[in-house]
Structures are given as C-alpha cells and as structure tokens.
Chains A and B, each alone.
Chain A
C-alpha cells in the first residue's frame, strides 16, 4: 500500500508541471505587452509597460519564461495576485479554509441524505419512495449549480426573507468581530467561533452557509442516490443476503448490516468524482453567495487577467484533486478487503 501511495503522489509533480507548462504556453499567444497587463495595478505602471516587460522577462523565449517562473515557484514564491491584492501563497492560506468549510458542511447532507434516500429506494423498489427518489434525482441532477443558487436566493432571501444575503457573515457580526476577534485556530470561522465559545458568530456563519451548502450538495446528491440505489439492488439479490434472511435475522439487520455495508462499496468509487464535483461546484457557489474562498478568488482572478493568481489557483486545484482522490482510494481499499493495490 505504501508503494501505491508513493506512486500516486509521484504523479502530482508531473500533473502540476504539465499544467503550468500549458498555462505559460498559452500566454505565448499574447504579445509581451498583453502579458504585462497581468502585472499592471495602477495607471502609473501602465506608462512603464516596457519596464515591466523587461523586469519580468516577458519578451524572453517561452522556456526561459517558464524556467524563471518555476525557479520562484519551487522556492514558494508564486507571485502577487492582482485580484486579492496580496501574494498568491498568502491569499491561498487565507481563503482556503472558507472553501474547506463550505465543502465539509456540504458533505453532511450529501452523504447523509443521498445514502439514506438511495438505500430506501433500493429497499423499496418501485414503491412510491423509489419513484420519489428517482424523480428527485432526475430533477436535481438537471439543475445547474448557478441556476439552483439563484433560485434558492430568489425564494429564501428575496421572497421569504428567511435566509441572509450574500457573504459569510452579516455586517453586524463583522463589526462584532472587529471589536472582539475570534482567535484563528483552524481557519474555519464556524469552528474557531465554537472553540472560542462565541455562539452568535457561530450561528451567524451557519445561517449564511445554509443555502450555499444546499446548492453545493444537491447535484452530487443525485448521483449518489442513483449509485446507492443500484448498488443496493445488486447486493439484495446476492446469496449471502438470502442466507442471512434464511437464518432468521431481523429484516433491519439484514438490510443495514449485510446489504447496505456492501452496497456502499461501489459508492466509495464515486469519491474521486465527488471531490472534483464539489471543487467545481464550490467555484460557482462561492461566486453566487459571495463567500471568501479560493473559488471566488479564482473567478475574480480570471476576470481581472491576474495570471499569477490563475496559476496559483490552478496549481491548488490540481493538488487538492490529486491528494483527495488518493485519500478516497486508500479509504476504499480499507473498507473493501477484496481491493488490492497493484
């Protein structure tokens, strides 16, 4: 298993090298002056475009430019992000916890509700709950994240007024935090507030995260319901389930211990896709709800032609996906003893 993990981690530098090579390569389609626009933050700099081109070596051959970027990147200097007005590494450190917070909370309804409904649907094939689960899955699967987010905002914020507007905290909490700041331990504001015993901040963050979490979890939930249902149907027809029933075990024990435990194995294979799906969903969700995570920063960087920011954003996305998929695969092997690393 150790060799497997090492081999999978070894692909990481290759992925990141290929990715950054492509991005710097794409930049070669632009003129040096256009490339310099990525570093312009003030009018005064605009007049010194030639100096920027010279300083950053933007008129150098492609590989020379890439090499100079790579040298700095390896040293941990990813440049300065125009979009966040801070160094890229600092931006990532500051904003990543918010994304983590959103996705971790989204996992709760995603796994809980998806697995629960999928199991029920599988156990009650063609009954009303199964029909409901299938219709629910078809409908939610077909609503793109950005449309769902807007619709939820229209209904719960605009019409009913029970959900808060965009942002991670309300302005009152913002003021309260300025006076009485919550010490940063994990970086996840809700957890930090909880650790500090600051309930009002904790509830405010949860309140603000409710709609984004629903938005983010919904689309992946549909896939999870479908897969869980299919896996349950498959498992329920197995001999060992029949044996368990024949032994006279209570229906509940058969369904949950014998059937569902094994039914969840194929669900675990979804892990990699779910990670990618959540990350992509987070980019859109954060932008809709104005959450200060890396997704909204990446979109901002894209809109402002912030090349260092984009490079950092893409690098981070690559690292997250490769590492998270690896974790999922290892977990998969732990829950299913039949899986061998090869």
Chain B
C-alpha cells in the first residue's frame, strides 16, 4: 500500500506559538505598546545596573566603605568581588542618596561643585546638596524593590483569600467580602498615610501599608474569576475523579484566572512606586535621605523661583525628577493598557 507521503509540517515550537499567538500579534501591532515596553525595559536596566550608572561616590554616603572598596572605579572591574556585590546585593548604605555637600543652594548640571574630596561635577546637578543623578538612578532601584515586593505580597494574599472566598462561598466568603467592602469604602492614600506615620518611616513599613490596602482589589478580581470558572464542566469533571479542593483551585481555577490578573499586576507595578513617591513627597514615606523620587521632587519645592532676573535658574531640580517619574508611569501604563486589550478575548 503506497502511503501518501504528505509532508506533515513540523509542529510549531513553543516559542513561535507564543510569538504568533493572537494576543502577541495584537500586542506587536500596537506601536504605543511597544514604546511602553521599551520605556519599561529601560527602567529595568537602569535599576539593574544602578551601581554602574551611578557608582558609589568617595564621599556622600557609606556605600563604598560598606562594599569594602576604596575607589569608585572598582565597581567596573568584572573580575572583582566588589562588582558583583554592588550589582547583586549592595549594602543598605548604597540606597542613601549621595550627598555632595551640605549647601541647600542647588548647583547646575556638570558644573564644578566643592565637596570634601575636592571638585566634582554631578551629572544632573545637586539639590539640597544631594546628587540628583544618584538619587534618580538608585531611586529607580528603590521603586522596583518597592513595587515588586508590594505586588508579590498583594498577589499572594489576594489570590489565596480571593480563591477561598470564591470557591467555598458561605460565611467565609461573606466575611472576606465585608472586609473588602470596608477597605474599598476608604481612600487608600489616607489609610497608607495613617499606617506609615504610626509605624514609622521605613521601606518595610511603606510596603506593609501598601499591601494592607492593596490586596483587596486582587481578592475581588480573583473571586469573580473563580465564580466564573467554578461552574464550568471541567471543574465538575475534576471533582468527579476525586480531586481535592486545593488541587482544583491550584491546577484548574487559578491558571484560568491568571490572564485577568496579568494586566492588573502590570498596571500596579507602575502605579505603586508613583504612589510611594507621592507619600515621600509629603514627608511620610521613606526615611530622609533614602534614594527615592518623591524626596527629590520635595527638595525642589524650595527652588521653584530662581534668583531675580533668572527665573529658570534652577530648572534642573524639578525637571529631571519630574521627567523620570512621568516616563516611568507612562511606560507601565501603555504596557498595561496594551496587555489588557491584547488579552481581552472579547475584542477581535
């Protein structure tokens, strides 16, 4: 029997399947989305390579000492331990914005300014004596530490409680939903202000405050998804062959609900650092001197008016931080919006 030897096409590789999936095609077509992705990647690179972009200075903070190095240039030596330590696990002191001197008066970008070790030329100038470039670059790292940990814990608590609430129903559901109602009935900024100011200024307290108010949104979303998926046949099928509740939640319900969570996670990754910056701007967030965007903008408040005759003399103290914050928010928002559109099964 002469079999028809049709050339069966090789099954598409997983990568090309992903790349050519409907959501990806839709995403790639969207030019704004690609721009958003570019901005986000740029910020990720800045955060990852902060120690190389803004190397620890000789004076201004204790970063260099705590790294066990004597020269700023040592961080560029790939073969030395300092390079890896600075990149992977920099000591806390590196997150303190380098203070060039103690002059409140800003000094312009690239202009020589006197510090304890002689003249230096800060790339973006100084504000209150703080090196703006250093603050923005390490502030990007702070922003990512904050957003990643906040979103991780929000997701953890939200997914667990949302799944329990949606899957089991009854009084558990009722109880969790009433707590969420209360959190929603309240402006989150007020709660965050109250929590951080009572617990004290620190990165972990700010994270805690954001998680306390933020998990509720995830739990609501996941509960709705669980209710939708729970009534589908394959869940009944899984139940019929004796799968436990937890197995059904983790193997069947959660993977189906994750699509809805993705866009929210991306939008939150962008908005949490901005909200935290607002908090620091108000003087309630991170400890003073910590490298974060809000404090740099806050320092700019004193230098809105230039000296007589030069109204824009201090433009750099507000321009660079403002641009950083706006581009960061823009990038994540474009990306998040595009993901939401791309993953939305209703749109064609």
Partner-B contacts on A (CB < 8 A): 11, 14-15, 18-19, 23, 26-27, 29-30, 138-139, 141-147, 150-151, 153-154, 157-161, 165, 276, 279-280, 283-284, 287-288, 298-299, 301-303, 305, 307, 310, 313-314, 317-318, 321-322, 325
Contact = CB atoms under 8 A, between A and B. Distances in A.
Nearest to B301: A150
B284 A158 contact: no
Contacts of B297: 146-147, 150
A134 B219 CA distance: 31
B284 A157 contact: no
A158 B312 contact: yes
B322 A147 contact: yes
Nearest to A305: B197
B283 A23 contact: no
Contacts of B186: 15, 19, 317-318, 321
Contacts of A153: 304
Q: Which 4 A-B pairs have the closest CB atoms?
A: A302-B197, A142-B329, A280-B189, A317-B190
B326 A150 contact: no
Query: Residue among A142, A145, A284 with the most chain B CB within 10 A?
Result: A142
Contacts of A146: 277-278, 281-282, 294, 297
Given A302-B197, A318-B186, A321-B185, A141 B315 contact: no
B334 A158 contact: no
Nearest to B193: A302
B304 A11 contact: no
Contacts of A310: 193-194, 197-198
Contacts of B333: 138, 141-142
B318 A154 contact: yes
B193 A298 contact: yes
Nearest to A27: B198
Query: Residue among B188, B283, B321 with the most chain A CB within 10 A?
Result: B283
A158 B311 contact: yes
B187 A279 contact: yes
B322 to A, nearest CB: 5
A329 to B, nearest CB: 12
B325 interface: yes
Contact of A158 (B190, B304, B330): B304
Contact of A303 (B198, B199, B284, B334): B284
Contacts of B226: none
Given A142-B326, A280-B187, 17 more contacts: A14-B182, A19-B182, A26-B195, A144-B277, A146-B282, A147-B325, A150-B322, A158-B312, A279-B187, A280-B188, A283-B190, A303-B282, A303-B283, A310-B198, A314-B190, A317-B186, A321-B186
Interface of chain B: mostly helix, strand, loop or mixed: helix
Interface string B94-128: 00000000000000000000000000000000000
A10 to B, nearest CB: 12
A180 B300 CA distance: 37
A26 B197 CA distance: 10
B181 interface: yes
A206 to B, nearest CB: 21
B182 A302 contact: no
Given A150-B304, A317-B186, A159 B326 contact: no
A82 to B, nearest CB: 12
A61 B118 CA distance: 57
Contacts of A284: 189, 278, 281-282
23 contacts: A15-B185, A23-B194, A29-B198, A143-B329, A144-B329, A146-B278, A147-B297, A147-B325, A150-B297, A150-B304, A150-B318, A151-B318, A160-B311, A161-B311, A279-B190, A280-B189, A283-B282, A298-B190, A302-B193, A307-B198, A310-B197, A310-B198, A314-B194
A144 B186 CA distance: 20
Nearest to B305: A158
A157 to B, nearest CB: 6
Nearest to B283: A303
